[in-house]
Amino acid sequence: MNPQFSAHGLGLWRGGRRLCQGLSFSLEPGEALQLRGANGSGKTSLLRVLAGLGRVDEGEVRWAGELIRGSADHRASLLYLAHANGLKAHLSPRENYIFYQSITDNSSEITADEALVRFGLIDVSDRPCAYLSMGQKRRAALARLLATRSRLWLLDEPLTSLDAAGADLVADLLKAHLKQKGLVVLATHQPLPGKGIPLRSLELGAAP
């Protein structure tokens, strides 16, 4: 039986520098993996590789036994929240949400209104994102967690610029996602608030 999501002997080079070497993990439905490491240790690069965007220099990443490059199932199961929010500054949170919901294959039934209420953005839902605060932009980006039924969440610093209530909300969503047999890989320095999120952690930056 293949693990649902796994990496084996992963090595990455970026800008002439080795970021990691011989990195392996395997993740089953309902499990979460936290990537830790100092700034510049390659957490974002690794997440991009796991999303199928970044270049793999050594080793391999598999989804349900299949290499992720060219795996339609991996792509369809994936929700990648990058460091950059991916919000268009001239569109409102509502328009951004609807756009992202319309370009995925497995959109959820949660409407923009419901998601924005949940994230406390309903009052600013029709204001262009350029006029929102950093925290509000992050919330608008995180609202996409509700837009799809993706099984695999890759989250790059999801708690950046969020207030305590926002962090609680993300923790609740993570918990619910794991309960529904979702998989999560997240890169974060901050400890997640609340208990009951079974996190394994992977330390980066040990390579010389």
Partner 1 sequence: MALIRRDLRLAFRRRGELLTPAMFFILVTALFPLGLTPRPDLLQSIAPGVVWVAALLAGLLGQESLFKSDYEDGALEQLALSPVPMEVQALTRIFTHWLATGLPLVILSPLMGMLLAYPTGAMGVFAFSLLLGTLSLSLLGAIGAALTVNLKQGGMLMPILVLPLAVPVLIFGAQAAAQAARGEDPAGALYLLGALLVLGLSLAPFAIAGALRVSLES
Does residue 86 bind partner 1 (CB under 8 A)?
A: yes
Secondary structure (H, E, C), 61-82: EEECCEECCCCHHHHHHEEEEC
DSSP states along 98-137: HHHHHTSSSB-S--HHHHHHHTT-GGGTTS-GGGS-HHHH
Nearest approach in angstroms of CB 85 to partner 1 is: 6
The site map against partner 1 for 21-50 (x = CB under 8 A) is: ---------------------------x--
Nearest approach in angstroms of CB 57 to partner 1 is: 11
- Which lies closer to partner 1 via its Cβ, residue 19 or residue 171? 19
The site map against partner 1 for 122-161 (x = CB under 8 A) is: ------x---------------------------------
Does residue 102 bind partner 1 (CB under 8 A)?
A: yes
Q: Which residues contact 203 (CB under 8 A, 6 or more apart)?
A: 36, 37
Instruction: Pick out residues in 47-76 that bind partner 1 (CB under 8 A).
Output: 48, 51-55, 72, 75-76
Closest by CA to 150, choosing from 195, 105, 112, is: 105
- Taking the C-alpha atoms of residue 126 and residue 92, their distance in angstroms, rounded to an integer, is 5
133 close to 97: Cβ distance less than 8 angstroms:
no
Closest by CA to 199, choosing from 179, 180, 185, is: 185
- Which lies closer to partner 1 via its Cβ, residue 63 or residue 100? 100
Which parts of this chain interact with partner 1 (CB under 8 A)? 14-15, 48, 51-55, 72, 75-76, 78, 80, 82-91, 95, 99-100, 102-105, 128
